[in-house]
Structure 1
Amino acid sequence: MAGVVRQAVRGAQRIVRRWPVSPQKTHFQWNTRTATLLLSSFMMATPQDTSEQDIGVRALQHWPQNQQRSQGQLPPKPLKDARDETAADEKLGQRSRVKTQKLASTTEGGPDETPSGRPKLVIFLGSQREGRNIVKVAKYLEEALLKSDCFNLCIIDPVKLCVPIMVQPIHFMSDTSNAPRWLVDVNNVIKEAEAFIVISPEYNSTFGPSLSNLLNHFPSSIFRHKPCSIVTYSAGGNGGIRAATALRSYLMEFGLLVLPTSLMIPNVKDSLEGNVKGNVLEKLIKELNWYV
């Protein structure tokens, strides 16, 4: 046995000497050294002659601490106390309970939710023209959301707020105490919101200018990482698909998480009468609730 080990070690050493310097050589040296130590330790654990034990002693020289401990220069490693292991288990259990409590506080009526337990959903209306169809679309959407009982709703209508053309957004103001009251209020509502729905008609192959004029008053930091669904409509048959495409990239600039499902309503004057979009709207609500 000893002769076989010595021959294997010498053969590996000859290979290492002839091998040019490379990462593979270093890896091979490490594996050879590890194998030598393991074989030598096995040989020392069995009755061997003096020459075989010398091999084991030479192998132990690679680990000075083990050599010193074997010669009595270092104290033996202390055994773990059962009480220490019990205390460590108790600490681990306490950390697990704290994490569980934190997770429950954010998912079951925690500080991120309203007292009623439903997350806050803000709906932006993107049209200000006279005779606008967006009021009918918003009412249809509001009824479906209230029926689902998943959210607390807040509708932001630029007509009711009398939103002017943007001159200076709130995050560019050095002193917000002089900002218009509606601007401060809407800014706070957006901060507290957990999800959004944006409704817009299609104007000239894009979304309505009233929507961008409204949203550009506010910083992207209060929108970031929150889910948002898109609802578009058109008087023709395309359902505002080009507006939805433009909205997707625009809303992503605010850091919003734009969800895959979009509700596009063609022939808006007639489409809502028969609830023909009920299945898509139901999917949109479930998806938004899941992301929240």
Structure 2
Amino acid sequence: MGNDMLNIAVLLGSTRDGRFGPAVAGWIMDHLAQREDMNADLIDLIETPLPTVYPVLGQPPATQEAKDLLAAVSPRMAAADAFVIVTPEYNHSFPAALKNAIDWHNTEWHAKPVAFVSYGAFSAGLRAVEQLRLVLAELHAVTIRDSVGLQHPWAQFDGDGKAVDPAADAAAKVMLDRLAWWGHSLREARTARPYAA
């Protein structure tokens, strides 16, 4: 693991019972594992839930439990050079647990690229992604134009978790190639000149 390796935090945004998200996250994690320029860390919001009660603005979390929950996630996000968000679409938007995870963090997003893998019935989750782009712009993140949208995702994978449509794998490669370019470029920029937020 040299300086050429990018640390990628994969944020799995669905916490619904019976969710399909782990299959989608597993698929993109397989793509990341095949790359020689990226290390991936899966942050599953069921395994690492975050507090839902916020402290007074500018103050630390009020309870030790909240501090402990954040300690399981925040350092991993801070260590990331780039992000991949895996999200379903709920009512033309993205899940509340994902918004909560985004809102608990600020500088962790600054001047870092974010790619999206979305899934849903007819829309492939693209409306959730469009709303995420607006939210992440406010946090000084750079969203990647190329994303992966899986329509009717339950039919998109075989029993081994492999995509049945080669176009999905091709789209994932393009997205991760672009994420790598932005990840290296923005990391170099942050190293040369600390980001002014």
In which range does the TM-score fall when normalised by the shorter chain? Answer: 0.7 to 0.9
Amino acid at match of 2:7: K
* Greater length-normalized contact order (CA 8 Å, ≥ 6 residues apart): 2
Amino acid at match of 1:259: I
1:201 aligns with 2:117: no
Q: How many angstroms does 1:171 deviate by?
A: 5.3
* Bigger Rg, which one: 1
Normalised TM-score (structure 1): 0.56
**1:180 alignment partner, SS class:** helix
Are the counterparts in 2 of residues 262 and 284 from structure 1 also a CA contact under 8 Å?
Answer: yes
Q: Which has a greater percent of strand?
A: 2
- Corresponding residue number in structure 2 for 1:212: 99
- Corresponding residue number in structure 2 for 1:183: 70
Q: How many angstroms does 1:192 deviate by?
A: 1.5
Change (3 A) 1:278 1:170: farther
Q: Over residues 1-33 of structure 1, what are the superposed CA-to-partner deviations in whole Å (9 max), with x where a residue is unaligned?
A: xxxxxxxxxxxxxxxxxxxxxxxxxxxxxxxxx
- Corresponding residue number in structure 2 for 1:232: 118
Normalised TM-score (structure 2): 0.81
- Corresponding residue number in structure 2 for 1:272: 157
1:284 aligns with 2:163: no
Percent identity over the alignment is 24
Aligned partner of 2:37 among 150, 159, 163: 150
How many residue pairs get matched? 177
Q: How many angstroms does 1:222 deviate by?
A: 2.1
Change (3 A) 1:171 1:136: farther
Q: Mind listing any 5+ residue stretches in structure 1 that lack a counterpart?
A: 1-107
- Corresponding residue number in structure 2 for 1:130: 17
Are the counterparts in 2 of residues 169 and 216 from structure 1 also a CA contact under 8 Å?
Answer: no
- Corresponding residue number in structure 1 for 2:132: 247
- In 1, Cα distance between the equivalents of 2:96 and 2:147? 20
Are the counterparts in 1 of residues 7 and 41 from structure 2 also a CA contact under 8 Å?
Answer: yes
**2:8 alignment partner, SS class:** strand
Q: Mind listing any 5+ residue stretches in structure 2 that lack a counterpart?
A: 159-163, 184-197
- In 1, Cα distance between the equivalents of 2:177 and 2:37? 9
Q: How many angstroms does 1:182 deviate by?
A: 2.8
Are the counterparts in 2 of residues 259 and 288 from structure 1 also a CA contact under 8 Å?
Answer: yes
Aligned partner of 1:263 among 130, 141, 148: 148
Q: Which has a greater percent of helix?
A: 1
Amino acid at match of 1:238: S
Alpha carbon RMSD of aligned pairs, Å?
A: 2.3
Q: How many angstroms does 1:221 deviate by?
A: 1.8
